[in-house]
Amino acid sequence: MKLLRHGPIGAEKPGLLHSDGSIRDLSGVVADIGGAALSDAGIAALRAVDAASLPVVAPGTRLGPCVAGTGKFICIGLNYSDHAAETGASVPPEPIIFMKATSAICGPNDPIIIPRGSVKTDWEVELAVIIGTKAKYVSEDKALDHVAGYAITNDVSERAFQTERSGQWTKGKSCDNFGQIGPWLVTRDEVADPQALAMWLTVNGEKVQNGSTRTMVYGVAHLVSYLTQFMTLHPGDVISTGTPPGVGLGMKPPRYLKPGDVVELGVEGLGQQRQDVIADPT
């Protein structure tokens, strides 16, 4: 099942992608795609709904982030061996964890906003793991039981803010519209193996990232288990699991986004995103 949220910013309604390709409104069935709706029981209840009987959402309606109520937006750094190599970094002996501000979260096709003072805004296609049930001190063999599903994220990054402004990476990762999530949450039963998904990203039609989750250093089950040794994960929390090679930072010479660029990205079975790059209008 592919769950989503549709409508204006801040007023999104729950929905799903019907087998006929239309978007159907779930607001008469569930309050939102978050909280208890992400549990196995909640998803089973949504799966039992006759999608053909639901109201059709008008084509072209904006899609919001596919999950509501995200308390933590957790990112994993240098989690692809080939990406670590392109940046000149060593593969970490344990997962690198950093937080992205939840205020960065936006819809899958909302624009990438170049922040004031930015000279190195970069792209990163990533697999997102969306937590469905509370998880604390979870073993690796039970970790995926706590996953509601998967989505695409673009972990947009301002490299100068990230690495040249002192301190931790968070300041280069948390600008407005630096966290597109969606277009939909694909429930875990539809993803046979999260470690076997092709992923790609283009800038102005040029394919710059072309990778696979096979080259993750630390797989999804390990990451979920690992994180629960340090913090409790709650329904709606998002784990962005790292990016394959092909980011602007790794190019020779480095290449970064500018207003007018168009970024498109996708992960096998999870749909795709499209973003216009604009200057901060504020």
Tens digit of each residue's pLDDT, the chain (282 residues)? 999 999 999 999 999 999 999 999 999 999 999 999 999 999 999 999 999 999 999 999 999 999 999 999 999 998 998 777 777 777 889 999 999 999 999 999 999 999 999 999 999 999 999 999 999 999 999 999 999 999 999 999 999 999 888 878 899 999 999 999 999 999 999 999 999 999 999 999 999 999 999 999 999 999 999 999 999 999 999 999 999 999 999 999 999 999 999 999 999 999 999 999 999 999
Q: What is the CATH number of domain 65-279?
A: 3.90.850.10
Boundaries of every domain in the chain: 65-279
Look-up of token digits 């309050």: 31
Q: What pTM, to 2 d.p., does this model score?
A: 0.96
Name the CA dihedral angle for 18, 21, 23, 26, rounded to a multiple of 10 degrees. 0
Enter the tokens of residue 188: 């875990």
Strand partners, 276: 262
- In the prediction, which pLDDT does 166 show? 82
